[in-house]
Chain A
Amino acid sequence: KAGVTQTPRYLIKTRGQQVTLSCSPISGHRSVSWYQQTPGQGLQFLFEYFSETQRNKGNFPGRFSGRQFSNSRSEMNVSTLELGDSALYLCASSKTGTGYTGELFFGEGSRLTVL
């Protein structure tokens, strides 16, 4: 079974630009969550999507947004990039319903550098 796939793996942007990151969950997983990982703040929850609807949201500004498609693939977008947005963005998928264990399966992440 293929794991969670994130693209692109690395990208460099400049301040003011916008970026879109993509996440393909494990087949059959309908929940996709996004996390930001930085040396200073650690792992912080951004948002979660389930059945194309945002189910939870973390404490991030409105510049951070996401969506989920009918095939459970998800994208997150960051507009008007700031230097502080430089981070590793992790996507995680989980199984829901019968057999749900609470385990999140993480991707390798997309490393964003803002110059």
Chain B
Amino acid sequence: AQRVTQPEKLLSVFKGAPVELKCNYSYSGSPELFWYVQYSRQRLQLLLRHISRESIKGFTADLNKGETSFHLKKPFAQEEDSAMYYCALRGSSNTGKLIFGQGTTLQVKP
């Protein structure tokens, strides 16, 4: 079964602390993994995708196929990073069907 698990509903850190939002997936094949973010009163938007291997707003995520994980990391959290983060999986290429995790609320305290 295709599944995405984000074990933490809430992650609270202080400004300047490192952040790691966990994501584990279950999929038999080679999925595409994404992180989407929803800031307060904004639309859900793409943060980054594993295939591009880029760093966006200081965030990076590495796909670990052995551990079936795609954790999101940032070395120094900023208050503006406070948001809801969703890990998502796409099994088939070129479709709009994503399987989302339950989401993790990141709260960065001053």
Contacts and interface: CB of A to CB of B under 8 A. Distances in A.
Interface of A: 3-4, 31-33, 35, 42-45, 48, 50, 55-56, 58, 90, 92-94, 96, 100-108
A55 B95 contact: yes
A6 to B, nearest CB: 10
B88 to A, nearest CB: 8
B49 A45 contact: no
B100 A43 contact: yes
A42 B102 contact: yes
A43 B103 CA distance: 9
Interface string B23-63: 00000000010101000000111100101100000000000
Contacts, number: 60
Nearest to B100: A43
Contact of B45 (A93, A94, A96, A106): A106
A58 B36 CA distance: 20
A56 B100 CA distance: 16
Interface of B: 32, 34, 36, 43-46, 49, 51-52, 86, 90, 92-103
Given A43-B86, A90-B44, A104 B94 contact: no
Main secondary structure of the interface of A (DSSP, over half): strand
Contacts of B34: 102
B100 A92 contact: no
Given A42-B100, A42-B101, A31 B45 contact: no
B49 A103 contact: yes
Contact of A42 (B49, B93, B103): B103
A114 to B, nearest CB: 23
A94 B96 contact: yes
19 contacts: A3-B43, A4-B43, A32-B96, A33-B98, A35-B100, A42-B101, A45-B98, A48-B95, A50-B96, A55-B95, A56-B97, A58-B97, A90-B44, A94-B96, A103-B46, A104-B36, A104-B96, A106-B45, A107-B43
A46 to B, nearest CB: 10
